[in-house]
Amino acid sequence: MHQALAVEEPPAEFNWQAAPSEERIATLTLREAILRAFLRNPKISQAAAQIHIGEADLDAAKSAWYPQISLQASGGRSHQTDSSGSLNNNASGGLTLSQLLYDFGRTGGAIDEQHALADAYRYSLYDTMTSVAQDTLRAYLEVKRYQALVVAARDNIASLDRVKEIATLRANAGLSSQSDVLQAGTRLAGMRATLEQYRAQQRSAQAQLTVLTGVVSDNLPELPETLLQQQVTLDRIAYENSAAVRSAQAKQQAANQRVRQAASNHWPTIKVEAGRTRYENDSRSYWDDELQLQVEAPIYQGGLVNAKTRSAEGEREAAQAAIQQAKLDINQHASTAYADMIGAHERQQAGEQQLLSADHTRAVYADEYKLSKRSLNDLLSVEQDVFQADSMRIMALYDGWDATVRYAAAVDNLLDIMGIDREKSSGQTLPTLQ
């Protein structure tokens, strides 16, 4: 027997043409759907990568305070002439060390700017997480909505089947004509078409949820009641807790530091420089030692410093406007969501009352039809009323859930309500399914 030799396989190349993978699981909870969407959504990865870029930029800004060491060497002839004569050098090499002492806030401003941008990137990631969670929740709700409508349509089909059986028995007994049977069959066929329409919409909603989560599942548990228990405070929204507002504020602080840096260019830079260089020539070799305090002060740059300062001030004004825009967006989305919540709740109550009334009327009409006191049109009409009331109740119920999700996302409470800690589940460590 020949022993098989282990061969190291080359790493697989990234296939940009391949679609994201999907898997089928028995049950998909709402929290798991959100966490899977975090792992799958490229916006989360992009925002996390931006944090790493910010960390590198911060280290780069801090490096200005560290000693700068450089090594230089050259080869080839160079000719120097002074009062003592001339010198031909064939090669040189040396080491130079430079240390920044003070630059009137340029380096400090750059470091503070990167600190502020690091905060902005982190809060931007939190805001992206809320946006992805909102999209996932709304897709989840759409699946639940059409699942409920499918059930309502099937219940109505079962009820219409009973009506058709009654009409058939009466027609066979000579108590009514065969037109009643045909009319009931036509209404039954129409309801089956409605059922297929709802099933198609359910499949479409499930496909959207699968794209977001990478999971195919027919079992979606009910939504948490904590979403409905959140407090609505349109008159005192905590803007300071909003990741979008805090990101805009951090960018404003970064803009302030850019103004500081631009203005500091009017002032000199002070540093100390030491170096030792070895020169080789035809007759002799020698060392050139250097230790100097250097002051570099701009005298005239064609208005460059003033132009940069004005540009930085414009960026600061734009950052201030971005804060107000973020607050305005919160107000708009929260107010609209709250109005939709109120409207959906009232429609749901009206639908439930209508359903109770129509269901009672259906039972009465069924008995009266058997006694020839009601026509089949009356019975089919009340069946339609029952289905419309049930459909309106379901649509209003899930419209209310959708508005609740949008309100929680607007005031940035959504992930807190779902028990997902963004502080622990972002940055270096993205959310996991543990």
| Full DSSP string of 205-245 | HHHHHHHHHSEE-SB-PPPPGGGTTPPP-GGG--GGG-HHH
Domain-embedded: residue 137 = yes
Does residue 359 register a pLDDT over 70? yes
Domain-embedded: residue 56 = yes
Q: Predicted confidence band at 288 (pLDDT cuts at 50, 70, 90)?
A: confident
pLDDT of res. 353? 94
Does residue 130 register a pLDDT over 90? yes
For 26-84, what is each residue's pLDDT tens digit?
A: 788 888 888 888 888 889 888 888 888 998 999 999 998 999 998 888 876 776 665 56
Q: Which residue has the higher pLDDT, 225 or 371?
A: 371
Q: In whole angstroms, what is the distance from residue 200 CA to residue 143 CA?
A: 11
pLDDT of res. 1? 41
Q: Which residue pairs, CB below 8 angstroms and at least 24 apart, start in 106-110?
A: 106/261, 106/264, 106/265, 106/269, 107/61, 107/64, 107/65, 109/257, 109/258, 109/260, 109/261, 109/264, 110/61, 110/64, 110/257, 110/261
**If you average pLDDT over residues 293-314, what whole number do you get?**
85
Q: How far is CA 300 from CA 106, 272, 295, 309, 313, in A?
A: 18, 24, 16, 15, 21
Q: In whole angstroms, what is the distance from residue 129 CA to residue 222 CA?
A: 22
Range of the domain at 198: 23-67+104-267+311-417
Locus of tokens 């959708």: 402
Domain-embedded: residue 113 = yes
| Terminal C-alpha separation, the chain | 46
**If you average pLDDT over residues 313-319, what whole number do you get?**
90
Q: In whole angstroms, what is the distance from residue 407 CA to residue 337 CA?
A: 5
Q: In whole angstroms, what is the distance from residue 304 CA to residue 312 CA?
A: 12
Q: How far is CA 1 from CA 4, 5, 6, 8, 203, in A?
A: 9, 12, 15, 22, 55
Q: In whole angstroms, what is the distance from residue 142 CA to residue 201 CA?
A: 9
Q: Which residue has the higher pLDDT, 128 or 237?
A: 128
Q: In whole angstroms, what is the distance from residue 396 CA to residue 349 CA?
A: 9
Tally of domains in the chain: 1
Q: For residue 73, count CB atoms less than 10 angstroms from its CB and return exposed for 0-12, middle for 13-18, buried for 19 or more.
A: exposed
Q: How many CA atoms lie within 13 A of 346 on its CB side?
A: 5
Percent of the chain with pLDDT over 70: 88
Domain-embedded: residue 33 = yes
Which residues, in sequence order, are bridge partners of residue 305?
none
Please state, rounded to an integer, the average pLDDT across all residues of the chain.
Answer: 84
pLDDT of res. 344? 93
Q: How far is CA 377 from CA 16, 97, 367, 383, 399, in A?
A: 60, 99, 14, 10, 32
pLDDT of res. 29? 84
Q: In whole angstroms, what is the distance from residue 42 CA to residue 132 CA?
A: 10
Give the dihedral sign, CA 248/253/254/260: positive
pLDDT of res. 83? 59
Domain-embedded: residue 343 = yes
Within 8 A by CB and 6+ apart from 357, the residues are: 389
Domain-embedded: residue 29 = yes
Q: In whole angstroms, what is the distance from residue 31 CA to residue 434 CA?
A: 11
CATH number of the domain enclosing 157: 1.20.1600.10
Domain-embedded: residue 89 = no
For 170-222, what is each residue's pLDDT tens digit?
A: 888 777 778 888 888 999 999 999 999 999 999 999 999 999 988 888 788 87
**If you average pLDDT over residues 111-132, what whole number do you get?**
92
Does residue 2 register a pLDDT over 50? no
Q: In whole angstroms, what is the distance from residue 117 CA to residue 329 CA?
A: 22
Q: For residue 305, count CB atoms less than 10 angstroms from its CB and return exposed for 0-12, middle for 13-18, buried for 19 or more.
A: middle
Locus of tokens 């460590």: 429
pLDDT of res. 21? 60
pLDDT of res. 201? 95
For 6-28, what is each residue's pLDDT tens digit?
A: 344 444 444 444 445 667 877 88
Q: For residue 55, count CB atoms less than 10 angstroms from its CB and return exposed for 0-12, middle for 13-18, buried for 19 or more.
A: middle
What element of type H or E holds 130? helix 106-172
Domain-embedded: residue 433 = no
Q: Which residue has the higher pLDDT, 1 or 262?
A: 262
